[in-house]
Amino acid sequence: MGQVENGVHGAHSSQLADHPDSSQHVGECCLDDGTSIRFRPIEPTDVSAYGGMLSLCSPKSLYSRYEQLITTSPHEMAEELCGQNSDCNLTVIAEIIDDDASSIIGAAQLLSDQGHEAAEYAVLVADPWQGKGLGGSFTSFCLQVARARGIGRVIAEFLPDNMRMIRILETHEFDLQRDPQEHVVSGQKVIDYKGAGMPPDRRAGESPEQYRQSGE
Ligand SMILES: CC(C)(COP(=O)(O)OP(=O)(O)OC[C@H]1O[C@@H](n2cnc3c(N)ncnc32)[C@H](O)[C@@H]1OP(=O)(O)O)[C@@H](O)C(=O)NCCC(=O)NCCS
């Protein structure tokens, strides 16, 4: 997994703790291959760079992220997705720090209810950048952001063959639950017990160990 600075896996102090305002959700990480990455909220001016990132994603990756066949062009998708950040809908992008032109290589979304009781988490890493630790670092960072926003619990839903996502959520101590009828796996992590409205001993889902056994 890449190292998050100002984050869970870094030795540095948390910038988020000092700047809990949503517009300050920025951080950095170093990928396994040494590339330095910045996390920041998406901006309306990111359409071109975001479209570039989407064009590097295979149909399989897009299907894994959106759970449907994507027919819109990368540019149209980028236009739709850029600049819609709000109190309940935050898209964080990962960009290469040293590039002259802005190079976005991944994006993650936290979509919460008005009361911030729960947020859906989803992440997409462009194909050439997968397997270098970015998905894990993104998740560490977004959990920090969720905590800073006072979100009670974070939920992620994905296809059962998504071994990287299973590994990432296990590492971040999500409770995983397989729904054979829906053909999805969902993971839940309680961030703030008060915000989640339930005590820790009533968390839904099974442990990673139970999850592994149920899949055998
Ligand atoms: C799923 C996804 C976000 C993971 O991000 P990534 O940057 O490729 O993953 P990472 O490099 O952080 O690897 C995550 C973990 O999976 C492990 N891993 C890598 N390839 C693996 C494989 N084929 N099988 C099992 N585990 C694997 C890594 O070792 C790592 O575990 P570790 O931290 O314990 O070493 C990314 O591959 C992606 O965007 N896929 C398409 C979209 C998607 O599936 N989104 C998730 C749905 S919300």
Atom of ligand 1 nearest to the CA of 131: 11
Q: Supply the range of the domain harboring residue 50.
A: 10-214
Specify the higher pLDDT residue, 13 or 50. 50
- pLDDT per position as a tens digit, 31-43: 999 999 999 999 9
DSSP string, 68-120: S---S-HHHHHHHHTT---SSEEEEEEEESS-SS--EEEEEEEEE-TT-SEEE
Q: Is 3 inside a domain boundary?
A: no
Q: How confident is the model at residue 181 (pLDDT cuts 50, 70, 90)?
A: confident
Helix locations, the chain, DSSP H? 15-18, 47-55, 59-66, 74-81, 134-148, 163-171, 193-196, 208-214
- How many domains is the chain built from? 1
Q: Is 206 inside a domain boundary?
A: yes
Query: CA 138 → CA 37, 100, 134, 154, 172, distances in Å?
Result: 10, 22, 6, 14, 11
Please give the biggest Cα pair distance in the chain: 50
Indicate which CATH number applies to the domain containing 164. Answer: 3.40.630.30
Distance of alpha carbon 156 from alpha carbon 205, whole angstroms: 12
Q: Ligand 1 pocket test: which of 121, 167, 183, 189 has the largest number of ligand atoms within 8 Å of its C-beta?
A: 167
Answer yes or no: is pLDDT of 21 > 70.
no
Q: Is 70 inside a domain boundary?
A: yes
Distance, C-alpha 88 to centroid of its chain: 15
Answer yes or no: is pLDDT of 168 > 70.
yes
- 174, 197, 181, 168: which is closest to 108 by C-alpha? 168
Above pLDDT 70, what percent of the chain? 76
Exposed, middle or buried by CB within 10 Å (0-12, 13-18, 19+), for 193? Answer: middle
Q: How confident is the model at residue 102 (pLDDT cuts 50, 70, 90)?
A: confident
Q: Is 40 inside a domain boundary?
A: yes
Q: Is 120 inside a domain boundary?
A: yes
Task: Measure CA of the first residue to CA of the last residue in the chain; give whole Å.
Answer: 26
Q: Is 1 inside a domain boundary?
A: no
pLDDT at position 25 is 86
- 152, 110, 124: which is closest to 25 by C-alpha? 110
- pLDDT per position as a tens digit, 132-146: 999 999 999 999 999
Nearest CA to ligand 1 atom 26: 164
Q: What is the pTM of this model?
A: 0.85
Across residues 4-30, what is the average pLDDT? 54
Atom of ligand 1 nearest to the CA of 136: 12
Structure tokens at 75: 């540019």
- 213, 214, 160: which is closest to 187 by C-alpha? 160
pLDDT at position 214 is 52
Q: Is 172 in the pocket of ligand 1 (CB under 6 A)?
A: no
Q: How confident is the model at residue 9 (pLDDT cuts 50, 70, 90)?
A: very low
Q: Is 5 inside a domain boundary?
A: no
Nearest CA to ligand 1 atom 16: 164
pLDDT at position 183 is 86
Structure tokens at 90: 């935050």
pLDDT at position 182 is 76
- pLDDT per position as a tens digit, 46-99: 999 999 999 999 999 999 999 888 999 999 999 988 877 888 999 999 999 986
Q: How confident is the model at residue 2 (pLDDT cuts 50, 70, 90)?
A: low
Question: CB neighbours of 205 closer than 8 A, spacing ≥ 6?
Answer: 174, 175, 176, 177, 186, 187, 188
Task: Rounding to the nearest 10 degrees, give the CA dihedral for residues 211, 197, 25, 20.
Answer: -140
pLDDT at position 200 is 43
Question: How far, in Å, from the CA of 163 to the mean position of ligand 1?
Answer: 7
Average pLDDT, the chain: 83
Specify the higher pLDDT residue, 88 or 180. 88
In 3-state terms, what secondary structure has residue 150? coil
